[in-house]
Amino acid sequence: MRSFAVAIFAAVLAATGTGETNGGVYTFEGLSEGDLLGQDNWEQYASQGTSWSVVEPGGGSNNTAVAEPGDNTHLLIRQNDSSFAFPTHSASGTAAVMQFDFRYAEVSDESHYYFGLGADSTDDADDKVSTVKERGPAIGMFDSDGSQEGFGIRLLAVNGTPIYSYGYGTDTDDGDWIRLRLVMDFTANGGDGEGLLYYKNLTDGDPGFTALNPSTPQDLKLTEMNPGVSPSTWDTMVIVRSGESGAGDNQPQIDNLHPNVLRGPEPSALVALCGLGLTCLGLCWRRRGRVV
């Protein structure tokens, strides 16, 4: 009986880990420097683009391999395969999380870099993401005028249009790495879903995430996705890039694409689990002197 109580308590302790677990983080380590297109199952989206994101050594506080833009607009997709597959989201998820890291770099004109998810629909002839409504919401950075004052963070709806923009402005420095997180409730708004954005400045060593729109969750318009496409079928990562690249080594860059961040239980659940474990342990302890 004592060993049973200890086992219960150990299980409760294991369940109380509140940190992120690796739900499948995609990095660019091991890829060859040069065009990302054609490497590790990265494909062209709908014949868009002529100058692709390239794999290069990271800059600033990230010295691993990263992706940085080519010279113009392009979209790249990568469907799950045997070398990397992220866990499926639950259609009933109320706190689903996706995130990625980007490096801000001042450019001479407008610049955008986004990360999103998608899946092939059941009403077209191909077997990959190829239309805007096969893509889910996307998150990323934009620089509207090539300056820190014009720099911000943006959430795109299913139809590809911006639905929330936050002017990050002078809160960051040229070259800083930012982790951007989207927390999604797929059940809200009659199935359209809603999302909240959070950020963390990795270069500055921020200890936690800061909410960008804590009182204004945004409608993700999930019901506008094509037939057969939903959070539970998303199996493809999407990179959306437009605008100018930087000069020399000062480039916008992306890394650590995390389509489904699996997290430990919420604090209220942890309290309940701990209470259950302590109750079981107490009951077993009281039985020590009893003959059974």
Number of H helices, E strands in the chain: 2, 18
Token pair for residue 65?
């391999």
Q: Tell me the average pLDDT across 228-242.
A: 91
Tallying the residues shown for the chain, one arrives at 292
Report pLDDT digits (tens) over 112-138. 788 999 999 988 888 899 888 899 999
pLDDT bin (cut points 50, 70, 90) of residue 151 is: low
- Whether 47 has a pLDDT exceeding 70, the answer reads no
Token pair for residue 209?
């995430």
- Whether 184 has a pLDDT exceeding 80, the answer reads yes
Give the pLDDT of residue 95: 93
- Whether 208 has a pLDDT exceeding 80, the answer reads yes
Give the pLDDT of residue 12: 34
Token pair for residue 34?
């040069």
Give the pLDDT of residue 268: 40
* More confident position, 173 or 83: 83
pLDDT bin (cut points 50, 70, 90) of residue 172 is: confident
C-alpha to C-alpha distance for 255 and 62, rounded to whole angstroms: 9
- Give the rounded percent of residues in the chain with a pLDDT score beyond 90: 37
Report pLDDT digits (tens) over 57-98. 887 788 899 998 766 667 899 999 999 999 999 999 999 999
Q: Tell me the average pLDDT across 2-16.
A: 34
* Count of other CB atoms within 10 angstroms of residue 109: 11
C-alpha to C-alpha distance for 154 and 113, rounded to whole angstroms: 10
Q: Tell me the average pLDDT across 219-241.
A: 92
Q: Tell me the average pLDDT across 196-211.
A: 91
CB 72 within 8 A of CB 50: yes
Q: Which regions of 15-69 does DSSP assign to beta strands (E)?
A: 20-21, 34-35, 42-44, 54-57, 65-68
- Of 14, 19, 25, 16, give the one whose Cα is nearest residue 263: 19
Q: Tell me the average pLDDT across 253-268.
A: 75
Domain ranges across the chain: 1-18+265-292, 20-263
- Whether 13 has a pLDDT exceeding 60, the answer reads no
C-alpha to C-alpha distance for 195 and 89, rounded to whole angstroms: 15
**If DSSP codes are grouped into helix, strand and coil, which group holds residue 89?**
coil
- Of 238, 257, 259, 262, give the one whose Cα is nearest residue 101: 257
- Whether 164 has a pLDDT exceeding 90, the answer reads no
Give the pLDDT of residue 249: 60
- Whether 109 has a pLDDT exceeding 90, the answer reads no
C-alpha to C-alpha distance for 151 and 142, rounded to whole angstroms: 6
Give the pLDDT of residue 285: 41
Single-letter residue type at 142: F
CB 281 within 8 A of CB 8: yes
CB 129 within 8 A of CB 119: yes
End-to-end CA distance of the chain: 11
- Whether 9 has a pLDDT exceeding 60, the answer reads no
Q: Which regions of the chain does DSSP assign to beta strands (E)?
A: 20-21, 34-35, 42-44, 54-57, 65-68, 74-79, 96-103, 111-118, 135-143, 151-156, 162-166, 177-185, 194-201, 210-211, 218-219, 236-243, 253-258, 262-263
- Element containing residue 171 per DSSP (H, E): none
Token pair for residue 1?
């009986």
* More confident position, 214 or 209: 209
Q: Indicate the DSSP class of residue 202.
A: T
Q: Tell me the average pLDDT across 274-284.
A: 46
* More confident position, 180 or 163: 180
CATH topology of domain 20-263: Jelly Rolls (2.60.120)
The whole-chain average pLDDT of the chain stands at: 76
State the angle between helix axes of 267-286 and 2-15 in degrees (0 to 180), rounded to the nearest 10. Answer: 170
Q: Tell me the average pLDDT across 143-158.
A: 64
